[in-house]
Structure 1
């Protein structure tokens, strides 16, 4: 088998990377250079896209955001704020044999692992997209692993037969309040609703306004998603979902709700009508990224989703582990 070469991609090679994202099964919008560059520019992150080549052909790779902490620790992560997963990608092989596909996966991930270990990082944290489940090339070499979850709402099922009593009550409340849903492209509406959510908790939104503006621009220019809003009869938007398109699915990436209207069921109405709309467009499932926070999980379970795991792998240096322990001790003493 030919040896795998790993190196940083040049910006001129990002189109080739995007073609790999399109073809690779775990490839998502979060892997694309468009999304990664939004994260890089708005969040001021140092971005590297490392490609794995066999005989000059790009067969895999991984985006990495690099952060230096006080010039002492060099941290690498495949994700950043509100990008739940964006880890390694592997080009799908033509072989129908499971053993051959596993061999290709291990060779590519093994080469990537060895390359990352030589870059002087004190911590490396990779979050693999759902669908790439074999983390053994990392764990067999001493990396830690953990499991996270997302929810898939299967669109080939009858939504009404899967609704809980709580969701039915919320949909009835929405109907009685005269709430309607529609597609909208107004970033100001979304940012206003999101700000209301965090103001109630005395917190700042997880991303700056510019990030959402750039996402809306990407949606409009390349048709990679849409915003769905719930409105009162007077036309006031009270809840919104930002949905991004994936392979055969739509991803509910971010949601916002005016807390004053929460009891009217606008969020349940959004999911219900999104379900019907996507089903009519031949999408196979909705990927609802709300499975790792209990209060969100309790709500979405009312639609009877399928629980889908995805995995993280982490390698930490002794220096990083010591610094982390000291930080935890210091903060425990000051609380």
Structure 2
């Protein structure tokens, strides 16, 4: 096989559209906008078998103060929870032995390129359902396991509703009786303001990603990105979320509980129904790796999906990671050193 850069937007997006592993996070404009706002250099690799493109591997490179970093996705406060490899549409139809041959060749070529770049810190986070990382483990990469909440939308609405905790169902019924209005919008402003207020609190030590980043994404994908605002009968905002609606219905970002009347539970139930009615098979609610969110999200009795990360770091990378989390993990200082923070 041969690893080389793929700089053709049409070839890239056509491959992503055809692959069962391709998500909006992998699309060309999503990658380039992310690189622009994070200050990373995008390396859109493709792995070829002869003339046939069999895998995409978008990587982001940056060198800061002599520390070389290579990521997919770049660290952005879970704005992109996973990215990693995109295998060809034919991959899932292969027998296990042939899958292993393909993965061995992909890992061989990619590892050789990683060795040539020689990053001090490398991380590749794969999409849910792509769990066979043995070829990377055999090459010395360390594994990490992550989780995400999902709801199987192929079931009946009654079946999904019946799995909810009874207290959750009671809250949803009360909100429904109170009269709520759901508005779909491409305007991120209200949601972003609410999130920014939360991230400015003293107990939060992670600053917000730039608003301009989200605005550029929404302009690039008006059919696949949306914000949903829920208002009571007096026009007061009671809940807000952003979604990705491409191949799966992804509950992407949400506001914290709004003071007074909060209807986040009802908002999510409306979106579950909307996603099912539009033919989506999976409703995903990221956040299963954040303990303070689990109590709320688990009440929906979602299934627990798993996704894998493979990483590698040397002593310099380990020290840089410690310094980032322990020394400069303060909003005022991060804004000085990280380009994608307002």
Which TM class, normalised by the smaller chain length? 0.7 to 0.9
Is the aligned partner of 1:216 residue 2:218? yes
In structure 2, distance between residues paired with 1:227 and 1:323: 36
- Residue 37 of structure 2 is matched in structure 1 by 42
In structure 1, distance between residues paired with 2:12 and 2:47: 10
Q: Could you report, residue by residue, the CA deviation over 1:19-63 in whole angstroms, capped at 9, with x for unpaired residues?
A: 221122211110111111121122222211111111122211211
**Unaligned 5+ runs, structure 2:** 329-342
In structure 2, distance between residues paired with 1:132 and 1:126: 12
**Which is worse superposed, 266-275 or 205-214?**
205-214
- Residue 244 of structure 1 is matched in structure 2 by 244
**Unaligned 5+ runs, structure 1:** none
Given the superposition, is the C-alpha separation of residues 296 and 328 from structure 1 closer, same or farther in structure 2, using an over 3 Å criterion? closer
Aligned-pair CA distance for 1:295? 2.1
Aligned-pair CA distance for 1:192? 2.3
Aligned-pair CA distance for 1:324? 5.1
In structure 1, distance between residues paired with 2:325 and 2:212: 33
Equivalent pair of 2:146/2:308 in contact (CA under 8 Å): yes
TM-score (norm 2): 0.86
- Residue 70 of structure 2 is matched in structure 1 by 76
In structure 1, distance between residues paired with 2:41 and 2:240: 31
- Residue 25 of structure 1 is matched in structure 2 by 20
- Residue 282 of structure 1 is matched in structure 2 by 279
In structure 1, distance between residues paired with 2:103 and 2:121: 23
In structure 2, distance between residues paired with 1:178 and 1:218: 34
Q: CA RMSD in A?
A: 2.3
Of the candidates 92, 106, 114, which is equivalent to residue 104 of structure 2? Answer: 106
- Residue 258 of structure 2 is matched in structure 1 by 259
> Residue 124 of structure 1: SS of its match in structure 2?
strand
Equivalent pair of 1:159/1:275 in contact (CA under 8 Å): no
Aligned-pair CA distance for 1:308? 0.5
In structure 1, distance between residues paired with 2:37 and 2:221: 17
Q: How many residues align?
A: 320
User: Runs of 4 or more off by more than 6 Å in structure 1?
Assistant: 325-331
- Residue 269 of structure 1 is matched in structure 2 by 266
Aligned-pair CA distance for 1:91? 1.1
**Which is worse superposed, 283-292 or 236-245?**
236-245
> Residue 98 of structure 2: SS of its match in structure 1?
helix
Q: Could you report, residue by residue, the CA deviation over 1:79-107 in whole angstroms, capped at 9, with x for unpaired residues?
A: 12111101012213375422112221222
